Amino acid sequence: MLTSKQKKFLNSIFNPKEIIWEKASLFAYGVDSSSLHGEPEVVVLPSKVDQIQKLLFFAQNEGIHIVPRGRGTGRAGACVPKKGIVVSLLKLNHIIEIRKNDFVVIVEPGVITYNLQQELKKYNLFYPPDPASVKFSTIGGNVATNAGGMQALKYGVTGDYVLGLEVVLADGTLLNLKNFCHKNVCGLNLAKLFVGSEGTLGIISKIYLKVLPLPNYSVSILFGFKSLDKAISNILNLFKEGFLPCALEIIDKNCLNAISKVDSLPWEKDLNIQTVLIVKFDGTENSVKEDINRVLSLFSADVSIVGKTEEEQEKIWELRRKISPAAYRLKPAKLSEDFTVPRGKIGEFLRAGERLSNQYDLPVLTFGHVGDGNIHTNIMYDPEKIEDRKKADKIHRLLLEKTLELEGTITGEHGIGLLKKKYIGLQLDSNTLQIMNAIKCTLDPNNILNPGKAF
Amino acid sequence: MLTSKQKKFLNSIFNPKEIIWEKASLFAYGVDSSSLHGEPEVVVLPSKVDQIQKLLFFAQNEGIHIVPRGRGTGRAGACVPKKGIVVSLLKLNHIIEIRKNDFVVIVEPGVITYNLQQELKKYNLFYPPDPASVKFSTIGGNVATNAGGMQALKYGVTGDYVLGLEVVLADGTLLNLKNFCHKNVCGLNLAKLFVGSEGTLGIISKIYLKVLPLPNYSVSILFGFKSLDKAISNILNLFKEGFLPCALEIIDKNCLNAISKVDSLPWEKDLNIQTVLIVKFDGTENSVKEDINRVLSLFSADVSIVGKTEEEQEKIWELRRKISPAAYRLKPAKLSEDFTVPRGKIGEFLRAGERLSNQYDLPVLTFGHVGDGNIHTNIMYDPEKIEDRKKADKIHRLLLEKTLELEGTITGEHGIGLLKKKYIGLQLDSNTLQIMNAIKCTLDPNNILNPGKAF
């Protein structure tokens, strides 16, 4: 519990609009998009970087835990506090500068990623990373978790766009890792170390991003297949032909079943479609048209729907977005995972999901970024039924083991946070964890920054 | 000096073909492509990773300096030893596995990058980074320096392709950062910390690289302009139109003057071409043709030569490769730099080079990766003339200041090594350097790994 002296200090550096003490208001800052929750003692919303510096200098001396957060859209509990002070970065929400000819943008961490993308469009510029939360999550949160997304297949993940950072270290020191150059090898690449560090090494206060020219044309195509196997062999054929689209998403039959309970599917029912792939291409109109012809000649699908206009494409992607809410029509609770396997192993992983779903008679929904092996798994169960809970846990454990057997990773884009901490030792050996902790200890010797998370 | 006990130990873990004691043979391991040289006491060439582990465990206890090296093509003295043991990685030179469907390749550090690229071609795969040294340098050296190259404009630098590493730490611990997934956020991204660390944090013993589908078509076009200003305004126009080719190289009039002393230039002399740009596009045949039409409509050049076949392209790029050797026709010595400025600032930097060349009456050659602001500068001088030396130093200093004024970096792709250590404090502040050194100290507490380099 904070002492009255500590409370007084906080009130001295944050004005009443920048600090939340009321218990009822604190609740919202203790959760994220995992099922975890905690309770901060207080939330501060700095509007200037030097407030963060003063806060951390004080917290380090007093041994107070600090948990930074953006919009709380993470799925691993990385920003869920155990206690201490939550630092919301939402008031640091300015696009500082768009340097069009440098292909560089400088932003504060609280900017919503989608808003940045929309602003960049006016300059004919493009920031590609598109996590599912893109319309709600902040760029700071995206950097702290190295967020992925659909278009990672062509464009890579958040970290691939981070040129430089400004970071407040645990003792309040301002680390200025500014960089406006797309090539720069001056000293260690510290900025990349903070990417994906989930708030454990410092608080990101400014971000220097690389941006690209905006592609002026895109097309999305939905392909339906009568079996999972057929879809898989089509995907592997695409890889074999050395053809990687901008995005390649899968929707399995359990997902389709869930969606069909809330909406009609856009093909004749007697086609008996069991698996859907959505492919997106972008670039110039001619290059995209060439891509379409190529994929149409490579794929042998049982149904295909081409979306050219923005509206038509939107309709195709709507199907993908319906999965998560529709899933609850099958069972009232989900065990959600982002196990990821090497690209060539997706068949084995998807088949394991289907097999376990049948074997244990629980709906296992597999969908997502199949082009990168980054497959999302929702194991649906009824928490009231002890048998369901046991079966869900068993399936979860077997899929985890399958992931490791296939040399995959326990998290492709959600991160470790609190949720997966118990599994990290199954993937990383003790030497690796020791070095991660040694670096943490160097940067945060009193362990005040988001302690107990990430590694 | 090594004691007889230490020498005995080395002879016990390395067989006679893996250890070099003869002074005459040691010389070659004391230089790189900078003007610097040093003398190791001994060179070892491990053929197994456990030899490196034993060596480092021993060296750490004995306080012996260890300097790892590949083919010594670096230009900043990063692998030039002051004393101690040089560890050549050239016997660890196997491509361990090409996982075609995973788009992953696992290699030992001593593999020549070009050889890897050629082998990958057989699988229709592509490893894009292409430092000028690509036919001679090793992939381990490329990773240790985060090597760039021409095609970085479209494809990024070496670090963008490093998925995972195996590293021997200073105390001989094997750090296994293996990763076969294109998306992976399990714990801190330690692999990226070792990228570009110039041998100061560990010895890289295995590399997991992301690879891409091989583009099946490319075209290179040479554009000649009657003035530097005209070339610059054409480049900036390209950026403004949001058009980034695969490569965009510049060759200035001093370079052309040097080349003309060894060879004829491929255009009519009375065209009076003062600056050349070489543009490369790759992709499918149709997309490349579209790119060509677009650049031809955007550029207003005084001469243009399109190279479609491999031979025609080769002929165009030969001009680029002639610069370095031809430069010595102007003056017997060069001060070579890779100052880099933000993409939109290239005009100011190039004009500064031209102005200083005129003002001090010394040939300043500017050329290279203008698309990324990564411009190579060769200040030519006669080391016998004290006036020349003074002028060269003055120009160098002024270009350094101009780089920093334009918010550039003192090294875009060569690294700091020994050569630029004296300048690093002009770019990075003391907080940043302190954190780099703290991380170094955590990983190498006795400072045995390539001490005194990089940061």
Provide the residue-wise pLDDT of chain B in tens; the chain has 455 residues: 899 999 999 999 999 999 999 999 999 999 999 989 999 999 999 999 999 999 999 999 999 999 999 999 999 999 999 999 999 999 999 999 999 999 999 999 999 999 999 999 999 999 999 999 999 999 999 999 999 999 999 999 999 999 999 999 999 999 999 999 999 999 999 999 999 999 999 999 999 999 999 999 999 999 999 999 999 999 999 999 988 899 999 999 999 999 999 999 999 999 999 999 999 999 989 999 999 999 999 999 999 999 999 999 999 999 999 999 999 999 999 999 999 999 999 999 999 999 999 999 999 999 999 999 999 999 999 999 999 999 999 999 999 999 999 999 999 999 999 999 999 999 999 999 999 999 999 999 999 999 999 99
Helix, coil or strand: residue B84: coil
CB–CB contact B193 A189 (8 Å): yes
For A16-72, how does the pLDDT look when each residue is reduced to its tens digit (9 = 90+)?
Answer: 999 999 999 999 999 999 989 999 999 999 999 999 999 999 999 999 999 999 999
Helices (H), B201-309: 228-240, 253-260, 285-298
For residue B410, the Cα-to-chain-centroid distance in whole angstroms is 14
| Among B158, B135, B132, B157, residue whose Cα is nearest residue B320 | B132
Preferred mutation among B182, B248, B348, B455 to probe A, highest tally of A CBs within 10 A: B182
CB–CB contact A436 B196 (8 Å): no
The two tokens of residue A338 are 């982002």
Residues of B with Cβ-Cβ distance to A188 under 8 angstroms: 193, 196-197, 201, 436, 439-440, 454-455
Q: Are B348 and B403 a contacting pair, CB within 8 Å? A: no
Confidence of residue A122 (pLDDT cuts 50, 70, 90): very high
Chain B nearest C-alpha distance from A124 (Å): 7
CB–CB contact B103 A157 (8 Å): no
Q: Are A174 and A54 a contacting pair, CB within 8 Å? A: no
Chain B nearest C-alpha distance from A67 (Å): 17
Restricting to A residues 88-107, those with a Cβ less than 8 Å away from any Cβ of B are: 99-104
Second-level CATH architecture of B331-429: 2-Layer Sandwich (3.30)
Second-level CATH architecture of B95-213: 2-Layer Sandwich (3.30)
Q: Rounded to an integer, what distance in angstroms lies between the CA atom of residue B322 and that of residue B325?
A: 6
Q: Are A165 and A201 a contacting pair, CB within 8 Å? A: no
Residues of B with Cβ-Cβ distance to A102 under 8 angstroms: 342-345
Q: Are B374 and B412 a contacting pair, CB within 8 Å? A: yes
For A265-294, how does the pLDDT look when each residue is reduced to its tens digit (9 = 90+)?
Answer: 999 999 999 999 999 999 989 999 999 999
The two tokens of residue B108 are 């030992």
**Fold of domain A331-449:** Alpha-Beta Plaits (3.30.70)
Chain A nearest C-alpha distance from B383 (Å): 28
The CATH number corresponding to A4-88 among 3.40.1360.10, 3.30.43.10, 2.60.420.10, 3.40.50.1700 equals 3.30.43.10
The two tokens of residue A418 are 């609190």
B452 phi/psi in degrees, rounded to 5: 80, 15
CB–CB contact A409 B184 (8 Å): yes
Preferred mutation among A163, A182, A369 to probe B, highest tally of B CBs within 10 A: A182
Contacts of B72 (CB under 8 A, 6+ apart): B28, B29, B31, B32, B33, B79
pLDDT of residue B429: 98
Q: What is the ipTM of this complex?
A: 0.97
Residues of A with Cβ-Cβ distance to B438 under 8 angstroms: 442-443
Q: Are A403 and A423 a contacting pair, CB within 8 Å? A: no
Task: Summarize the confidence of residues A357-371 as an average pLDDT.
Answer: 97
Confidence of residue A322 (pLDDT cuts 50, 70, 90): very high
Confidence of residue A242 (pLDDT cuts 50, 70, 90): confident
The two tokens of residue B230 are 């005209």
Q: Are B383 and B333 a contacting pair, CB within 8 Å? A: yes
CA angle A381, A386, A391 (to 5 degrees): 55
Helix, coil or strand: residue A429: coil
Q: Are A362 and A333 a contacting pair, CB within 8 Å? A: no
CB–CB contact B415 A101 (8 Å): no
The two tokens of residue B150 are 């021409």
Nearest to B407 among A101, A103, A180 (CB): A180
| Among B144, B142, B103, residue whose Cα is nearest residue B120 | B103
Q: Rounded to an integer, what distance in angstroms lies between the CA atom of residue A167 and that of residue A206?
A: 7
The two tokens of residue A287 are 């290059």
A423 phi/psi in degrees, rounded to 5: -100, -15
CA angle B78, B83, B85 (to 5 degrees): 85
pLDDT-above-70 percentage for chain A = 100
Nearest to A410 among B173, B186, B192 (CB): B186
| Among B132, B112, B128, residue whose Cα is nearest residue B33 | B132
pLDDT of residue A395: 98
Q: Rounded to an integer, what distance in angstroms lies between the CA atom of residue A150 and that of residue A129?
A: 8
pLDDT of residue A35: 87
Q: How many CA atoms lie within 13 A of A53 on its CB side?
A: 10
Restricting to B residues 332-371, those with a Cβ less than 8 Å away from any Cβ of A are: 340-345, 369
Nearest to B160 among A160, A175, A187 (CB): A160
Domains of chain A, residue spans: 4-88, 95-213, 215-328, 331-449
Helices (H), A280-373: 285-298, 310-327, 346-360
Nearest to B182 among A182, A212, A372 (CB): A372
Q: What is the mean pLDDT of chain A?
A: 97
Task: Summarize the confidence of residues A80-106 as an average pLDDT.
Answer: 97
CA distances from B271 to B267, B268, B302, B317 (A): 7, 6, 8, 20
B442 touches A at CB < 8 Å: yes
If residue B26 lies in a helix (H) or strand (E), which one and from where to where?
A: helix B23-26
Task: Summarize the confidence of residues A170-176 as an average pLDDT.
Answer: 98
| Among B160, B157, B158, B153, residue whose Cα is nearest residue B243 | B153
Chain A nearest C-alpha distance from B386 (Å): 31
CA torsion sign for B156, B158, B159, B165 is: positive
CB–CB contact A286 B286 (8 Å): yes
B121 touches A at CB < 8 Å: no
Nearest to A408 among B176, B181, B427 (CB): B181
CB–CB contact A454 B188 (8 Å): yes
The two tokens of residue A314 are 């939107």
pLDDT of residue A324: 92
Task: For domain A215-328, give the CATH number.
Answer: 3.30.70.2190
pLDDT of residue A114: 98
Q: Given a cut of 90, is residue A224 above it in pLDDT?
A: yes
CA angle B126, B130, B131 (to 5 degrees): 160
DSSP-derived letter for residue A125 is E
Residues of A with Cβ-Cβ distance to B343 under 8 angstroms: 101-104, 182
Residues of B with Cβ-Cβ distance to A437 under 8 angstroms: none
Strand order in the sheet with A333-337: A303-307, A217-225, A275-283, A247-251, A364-369, A374-381, A333-337
Task: For domain B215-329, give the CATH number.
Answer: 3.30.70.2190
CA torsion sign for B311, B315, B320, B326 is: positive
Q: Could you identify the residue written with the tokens 């030497």?
A: A431
pLDDT of residue A47: 98
CA distances from A225 to A157, A260, A371, A428 (A): 29, 16, 17, 37
Preferred mutation among B102, B184, B422 to probe A, highest tally of A CBs within 10 A: B184
pLDDT of residue B35: 87
CB–CB contact B196 A189 (8 Å): yes
Task: Summarize the confidence of residues A421-431 as an average pLDDT.
Answer: 98
| Among A226, A271, A231, A264, residue whose Cα is nearest residue A248 | A231
**Between residues A1 and B200, which one has the greater pLDDT?**
B200
Q: Are A411 and B165 a contacting pair, CB within 8 Å? A: no
CB–CB contact B342 A187 (8 Å): no
CB–CB contact A244 B99 (8 Å): no
pLDDT of residue B197: 98
Q: Do domains A95-213 and A331-449 have the same CATH topology?
A: no
CB–CB contact B187 A290 (8 Å): no
pLDDT of residue B65: 98
Preferred mutation among A186, A232, A282 to probe B, highest tally of B CBs within 10 A: A186
For residue B146, the Cα-to-chain-centroid distance in whole angstroms is 7
Q: Are B278 and B245 a contacting pair, CB within 8 Å? A: no
Contacts of A279 (CB under 8 A, 6+ apart): A220, A221, A223, A245, A247, A248, A249, A295
Helices B285-298 & A285-298, crossing angle to 10 degrees?
180
pLDDT of residue B206: 98
Q: Rounded to an integer, what distance in angstroms lies between the CA atom of residue A88 and that of residue A109?
A: 10
CA torsion sign for B229, B231, B232, B234 is: positive
Restricting to A residues 234-293, those with a Cβ less than 8 Å away from any Cβ of B are: 236, 239-240, 242-244, 283-284, 286-287, 290
